[in-house]
């Protein structure tokens, strides 16, 4: 079964702002690949409540040149979801600091595996993937305030989770609930706060790397954790609640259960790691 929805222009006008509200059922899809590339946005993303739905979207914008382009098509049991706006053809002009943000509220399927590839520019983004089936996820941002949460456990194992940011304030919450085998957080300039709350059910390798900024990592005391933090005269490292093995290697008291292995590198700034 094939389902095709293509929207090139939103059609509702209210007080000078255009708006699009639409939804689509799975159409026989047994998994979804979601490709989202947007410019300046206020973005909210979470799982849709109806298990038969592929997505639900409300998109408000003021600039006709940024009209959303939305495509959903099912090919060989795989749903292909693509969302972009009118400025994407010019290699992310979003980095030109467009301050007129679109408002995007998106709900994606929670009953089939979802592969996420999301890129946005000048953004305020709140993303909660709790209770979904996330097979892998990639996030790439420009200038942003970005909150990523797994408020409840991922229903399946996540192969990898990547977060790459430019000038940013990033908060990642309940990361153990991602059930990810590999996680990479790569920040340029700004702050990054990472909390491994939730339940770790599989071994997980984590790489955290920043250019200029601060990194704060919080880890529950019952997680079997090894931390590697090479020190330099340009970076201060503060590790509390773990014992040092020397050479920038720290271990938790807990030795049982799935292993959390974290490598943290900061070119210039401060690194704080604690357990709770």
135 and 259 within one domain: yes
148 and 114 within one domain: no
- Cα 117 from Cα 6, distance rounded (Å): 19
State phi, psi for 121 to the nearest 5 degrees. -105, -105
Which residue matches tokens 């739905």? 53
Is-above-0.85 flag for pTM? yes
Structural domain including 25 reads 1-90+98-120
**Which tens digit of pLDDT belongs to each residue from 98-123?**
457 889 999 999 999 999 999 988 88
Output 11 or 122, whichever has higher pLDDT: 122
170 and 108 within one domain: no
- Cα 194 from Cα 172, distance rounded (Å): 5
Output 5 or 59, whichever has higher pLDDT: 59
Whether 52 and 113 have beta carbons less than 8 Å apart is answered as no
39 and 3 within one domain: yes
Domain total in the chain: 2
106 and 155 within one domain: no
Percent of the chain with pLDDT over 70: 87
271 and 205 within one domain: yes
Number of H helices, E strands in the chain: 0, 22
241 and 169 within one domain: yes
Per-residue pLDDT, 217? 97
């Amino acid at each position: 079964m094939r389902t095709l929805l293509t929207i090139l222009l939103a059609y509702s006008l209210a007080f000078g702002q255009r708006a699009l509200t639409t939804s689509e059922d799975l159409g026989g899809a047994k998994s979804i690949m979601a490709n989202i590339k947007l410019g300046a946005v206020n973005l909210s993303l979470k799982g849709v409540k109806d298990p038969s739905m592929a997505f639900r979207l409300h998109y408000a914008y003021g600039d006709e040149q940024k009209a959303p382009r939305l495509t959903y098509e099912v090919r060989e049991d795989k749903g292909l979801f693509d969302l972009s706006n009118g400025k994407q053809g010019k290699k992310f002009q979003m980095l030109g600091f467009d301050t007129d943000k679109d408002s995007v509220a998106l709900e994606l399927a929670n009953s089939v595996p979802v592969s996420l590839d999301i890129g946005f520019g000048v953004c305020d983004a709140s993303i909660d993937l709790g209770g979904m089936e996330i097979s892998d996820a990639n996030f790439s941002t420009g200038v942003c305030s970005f909150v990523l949460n797994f408020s409840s456990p991922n229903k399946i194992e996540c192969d990898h989770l990547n977060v790459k940011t430019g000038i940013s304030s990033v908060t990642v919450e309940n990361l153990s609930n991602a059930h990810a085998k590999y996680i990479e957080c790569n920040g340029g300039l700004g702050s990054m706060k990472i909390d491994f709350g939730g339940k770790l059910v599989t071994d997980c390798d984590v790489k955290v790397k920043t250019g200029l900024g601060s990194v704060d990592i919080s880890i529950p005391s019952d997680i079997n954790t090894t931390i590697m933090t090479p020190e330099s005269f340009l970076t201060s490292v503060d590790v509390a609640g773990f014992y040092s093995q020397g050479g920038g290697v720290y271990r938790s008291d807990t030795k049982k259960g799935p292993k959390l292995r974290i490598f943290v590198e900061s070119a210039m700034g401060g690194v704080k790691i604690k357990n709770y």
